[in-house]
Structure 1
Amino acid sequence: MRSILRTIQKPFSRGLATVSEVSEPIASSSSSSSSTPNIISNAVGKWTPHTMRTGLIARKRGMTALWDQDGRRWPVTVLQVDSNQVVRVSPPPSTSPLLHTLQIGSSNRSEKTTPSQQLGHFKKAGVEPKYKLKEFQVTQDALLQVGTELNAAHFVPGQYVDVQGITIGKGFQGVMKRYGFRGLKASHGVSVKHRSGGSIGQNQDPGRVIPNKKMPGHMGNVTRTTQNLLVHKIDNLLNLIYVRGSVPGTDDSFLSIIDSKKSVLSKSKLSLKKGKPENEWLSNNVTSLPTPAGTKDRIQKENWPSVVEWKGEGWSEK
């Protein structure tokens, strides 16, 4: 029976589309043409608490320190936005009809080292091959054209972001390093068992090791997200983003940065629900965010400043 089912050809279903296909709806399907967006240009819009903007792909360049106007020293991580471009625009799926999908590529790559399957994907979009690809869900007012290049000014100093990456791999480790166990007493008679985890099971009842027991094993090399990191400084010339605190991953690793789900999206929706004015939707005197995005063309056209820095909470002026 299984061999018969394998021979039956399944109908081809298309779940993704490029911007050219999206802007020209297919006439044969009225349902698909009504749900596809019509992107004419990256028109400047107004940010609202219900706007979901795209994220960026950055590379970790190390840590340093910055001082605010109050004289406080803050440890920051330097993230570089390297040639972020929109590679593909996908219509919203049936499960979430309000959210479109943007595929962002980062770091230019030579055609010689690019697989042929990926090379055709980039040539169809009309962009240079990229090392890293990642998809971000956006709302209708944050859609971008294929080929649009994004800049570090997509984020504003004073806002909060979430940074996701792969943690540093530390190999096979014991329970003391992996979970912070205290261990046994390193005294006379304990022999060489003072770094062990102790007993792991019970007697005949239940007679087994309880699932999810903290034991030695592989440590690190997992995807982790650090939430609510403050953006201290934006350098538009070098495409650098300075965020407060540490982020997962090693130097030169790829990270994804999005607007904070808690401190930006949820907090602004709550402020709107409470009836607060627009200048109080976001914290740290941030009034709005670039919508649909902080593109390279928009920065050059509107002549944005090359370096923008968060001044601080202003305790010295109070």
Structure 2
Amino acid sequence: MLLSKIISFSSPQKSTFTGLLQVRTKNYLNRPRLRNPVWFVRKERTVHDELITQENTSFVKEVLHERYGPSALIKGVLTFDQSKSSLIKSEELPPVQWQPGMKRTGVIAKKIGQYPLWKKDGTKIRTTLLQIIDNHVVKYIPPEEFEPPREPKQKRNWKNPYGCLLVGAESRDPSIFTKEYCGLFKDSGVIPKQHLCRFIISPEARILPGTPLNVTHFRVGDFVDVRGKTVDHGFQGVVKRHGFKGMPASHGVTKTHRRPGNIGAGGQKARVWPGTKMPGHMGNRWRNLRGLKIWRINTKYNVMWVQGSNIAGDTNGLVYIYDTILPLRKYKEAPAFPTHFASENDSYADDDIWHEDIHNFKDGSITFKEE
């Protein structure tokens, strides 16, 4: 009786036991999407054997290279050299000084592996390598025209409304895409991209379509948030999904070695608690990892070394990198706003930019003095 008085059954989602609040289920339902964004069009077309001659095939490639430039390996990514082609920039934006609270765009990157680094005091750091793959701005939607397809549960109380910046990554041959999908890139002059992502930004952080985004958008020592999709493991049991120990292997146990065991609760409850760990689909969920520090940057291949080895996704999987939203790790000094624009005056003594606390492998580690 005393236990039943301590436990509150007023809400099936939350239970209080000796002052400890347990949230076992989500306090909201997935809201329906009222409409799709404008860039949600059919992407890939059905490829037929069109019986095109070899001369016509070479002619199509000539037209492609004439418009978007020849095939080239730029910053370690196979793309098209658009330096000679004209990316549409009909206006020049006035320079805007960064202020706290302004929201910059993010970038699309690829998770290419893990690598250890060492501090100068000998501390080992496990890092993940993220390569920014041929990012270009495709379109900007101002706040008065931007209508999210799914309205939030609570009304926005934004002091300053936000706009939308559409960014594409990984250039591809336009012939494999549909006409509607290629039309998204017509106004920017950018070759059609394999991946698209929208970023919510402040109107002051607007970037003209056709502008490339590189790893220098961030600096060594900055903190970022990384969003990725976990590895899809399919339907799994409780041993793999939740780490259950399982039942004994012998001594009378029959066909129950990897079963969860009792899932009910006795007494007056007589039901299964919401949120009970049970078998189900494992993985294929979007997860955010916040407040990761950048320890090293390579400007030649657009690669950054980010703190941690548990970023969601498999090798060569896509991730999205944002400025962190953690209050104590936000920018205290002005970053490259709205982004870093490459120029001929950019000169780096080395392709690698190291954090001051990290030991550079090119430097000596142990020195001996002659007596």
Q: TM bucket by the smaller chain?
A: 0.7 to 0.9
**What is aligned with 2:337?**
291
User: Which position in structure 2 is the counterpart of 1:267?
Assistant: 328
Report how far residue 141 of structure 1 moved: 2.5
TM superposition shift of 1:43: 5.0
- Which residue, 215, 218, 230 being the options, matches 1:167? 230
TM-score of the pair, normalised by structure 2: 0.64
Specify the alignment match of 1:243 in structure 2. 306
Question: How has the CA–CA distance of structure 1 residues 98 and 253 changed in structure 2, closer, same or farther, with 3 Å as cutoff?
Answer: same
What is the percent sequence identity of the aligned residues? Answer: 34
In structure 2, the CA distance between the partners of 1:181 and 1:252, relative to structure 1 (3 Å rule), is same
The gaps in structure 1 that reach 5 residues or longer are: 1-12, 18-38, 270-280
* TM-score using structure 1 length: 0.73
2:336 aligned partner, one-letter code: P
Question: Partners in 1 of 2:205 and 2:348 — Cα distance?
Answer: 20
State the Cα distance separating 1:158 from its structure 2 match: 0.8
Letter in 1 for 2:355: W
Is the contact made by 1:16 and 1:90 (CA closer than 8 Å) also made in structure 2? Answer: no
Instruction: Name the residue aligned to 2:254.
Output: 191
Query: Is 1:47 paired with 2:108?
Result: no
Alignment partners' CA distance in 2, 1:124 and 1:40 = 13
8 Å contact kept, 1:49–1:268: no
Secondary structure of residue in 2 paired with 1:112: helix
Residue 204 of structure 2 is matched in structure 1 by 141
Residue 312 (structure 1) aligns with: 357
Higher relative contact order, chain-length normalized (CA < 8 Å, sep 6+) = 1
16 and 178 in structure 1: CA distance in 2 versus 1, 3 angstrom threshold? closer
Superposed displacement of residue 184, structure 1 = 3.0
| Unaligned runs of at least 5 residues, structure 2 | 1-34, 40-89, 148-155, 360-371
- The alpha-carbon deviation at position 200 of structure 1 amounts to 2.2
Query: What is the correspondence of 1:39-188 to structure 2 with a 5 Å cutoff?
Result: 40-41=91-92, 43-92=94-143, 93=146, 96=158, 97-188=160-251
What code does the residue aligned with 1:81 have?
A: I
Partner of 2:363: none
Q: Which has the larger radius of gyration?
A: 2
Question: Cα RMSD between the aligned structures?
Answer: 2.8
Runs of 4+ in structure 1 over 6 Å off? none
Distance in 1 of aligned mates of 2:194 and 2:315: 16
Q: Distance in 1 between matches of 2:282 and 2:163?
A: 36
Task: Report Cα offsets for 1:68-108 as digits up to 9, x if no partner.
Answer: 33332211111111111111101114855521110110111
Paired residues in the alignment total: 261
**Pairwise CA distance, 1:230:** 0.9
1:219 aligned residue (251, 266, 282): 282
Asked whether the 8 Å contact 2:164–2:200 carries over to 1, the reply is yes
> C-alpha distance in 2, partners of 1:313/1:83?
28
Q: Could you tell which deviates more after superposition, 99-108 or 110-119?
A: 110-119
Aligned equivalents of 2:114, 2:168: Cα separation in 1: 24
The residue type paired with residue 118 of structure 1 is Y
Asked whether the 8 Å contact 2:265–2:273 carries over to 1, the reply is no
- State the AA in 2 paired with 1:309: W
Cα distance change of structure 1 residues 313 and 236 upon mapping to structure 2, 3 Å threshold? closer
Greater percentage in helix = 1
- Offset at residue 205 of structure 1 (A): 6.0
| Mapped contact 1:57–1:256 kept (Cα < 8 A) | yes
Amino acid at match of 2:315: D
